[in-house]
Amino acid sequence: MGNSKIHQLKTIAHELKQLHIKTKNHIEERTSSDGHIYANTYGGWLNEYNPIVRKYNNLTSADLSERSVSDYELSSTRKTVRLDSAISFSESVEELSNKIEDDIRAEQNKDEPIPLHQMRVCFKTGAKGCPLNPAEKKNKVFVAMPFSDDYKDSYEYGVKLVLDRMGIEHYKADNEVNNKDTMCKICKEIQSCGIVIANISSLNPNVMLELGLAYGLGKKVVIIKDKKTTTVSDLGGIEYIEYSHAGELQQKLPNVF
């Protein structure tokens, strides 16, 4: 893909993004008032959308369909459209814009060697390498641990306390891995770190997934676990730090840095 084509795709993605912002803001404004989206307003959005789609189809040989106002979308008076139809349209505009931006990043990175700390293939887009192209900080630490109050002390007064005392930058995901976007963010952070501390206590599936990513990306991995967790056979030959309270982590963790 040449620079001219990439530039045209960037223009299309920008136009779609602007249309998404316009539609989203209008929907929020109307929702807070009478909740009606007028048919002529919705038709105007489609009149902006369709020429953009035609440009995209001509440029990429894609076959995206143009949009028109259907009877299903209209209210009984035919003066307004269903709110869920307007929201769905706005979201589809955003999705297309994001897809084009992902395609652009993938094309720009296609001929460049993939840094060793990055994914070979993006699990979200299927593109070569990571479209986000995160830089690696060798001394930054990713902390993988279960999302449970049972392990709050071991983090706050063990792992975090040690890293803060040593002046080491660290990252811990704040949300459960329950969708692809969350996993994408976590994958990016693992790629950007040189070291991963994985608390495999309770053998949490999210932690085990993050541990696998860390090993696959060649990160330095430090495994910790509480004494009541039995190590699975696949990890039986790998060294780990065992603890019964946060104080033990304060004593043992500094030795690995």
Query: 143: domain CATH number?
Result: 3.40.50.450
Asked if residue 119 belongs to a domain, the reply is no
Residues 55 and 165 in one domain: no
Asked if residue 240 belongs to a domain, the reply is yes
Structural domain count, the chain? 2
Using DSSP's 3-state secondary structure scheme, residue 222 falls into: strand
Residues 102 and 143 in one domain: no
Average pLDDT value for the chain = 90
Asked if residue 196 belongs to a domain, the reply is yes
Asked if residue 68 belongs to a domain, the reply is yes
pLDDT of residue 236: 65
pLDDT of residue 170: 96
Q: Among 92, 110, 128, which residue terminates a domain?
A: 110
Q: Residue 145's pLDDT band (boundaries 50, 70, 90)?
A: very high
Residues 165 and 103 in one domain: no
Q: Residue 175's pLDDT band (boundaries 50, 70, 90)?
A: low
Residues 12 and 86 in one domain: yes
Whole-angstrom Cα distance, residue 180 to residue 151? Answer: 25
Asked if residue 173 belongs to a domain, the reply is yes
56: Cα within 13 Å, side-chain hemisphere: 26
Q: Can you give the residue range of the structural domain that contains 220?
A: 137-256
Instruction: Mark residue 167 as left, alpha or beta (left: phi above 0; alpha: psi -120 to 50; beta: remaining).
Output: left
* Position 112 pLDDT exceeds 80: no
Asked if residue 123 belongs to a domain, the reply is no
Residues 152 and 249 in one domain: yes
Q: Among 94, 110, 126, which residue terminates a domain?
A: 110
Asked if residue 231 belongs to a domain, the reply is yes
pLDDT of residue 196: 97
pLDDT of residue 176: 55
Residues 101 and 141 in one domain: no
Q: Residue 178's pLDDT band (boundaries 50, 70, 90)?
A: low
Q: Residue 61's pLDDT band (boundaries 50, 70, 90)?
A: confident
Residues 212 and 142 in one domain: yes
Residues 141 and 252 in one domain: yes
Asked if residue 245 belongs to a domain, the reply is yes
Residues 248 and 200 in one domain: yes
Percent of the chain topping pLDDT 90: 69
Residues 57 and 160 in one domain: no
Percent of the chain topping pLDDT 70: 94
* Position 180 pLDDT exceeds 70: no
Buried/exposed 148-180: b ≥16 CB within 10 Å, e otherwise: eeebeebbeebbbbbbeeeeeebebbeeebeee
Whole-angstrom Cα distance, residue 252 to residue 243? Answer: 9
Residues 79 and 157 in one domain: no
Q: Among 110, 127, 148, which residue terminates a domain?
A: 110
Whole-angstrom Cα distance, residue 29 to residue 31? Answer: 6
pTM over 0.75: no
Residues 106 and 142 in one domain: no
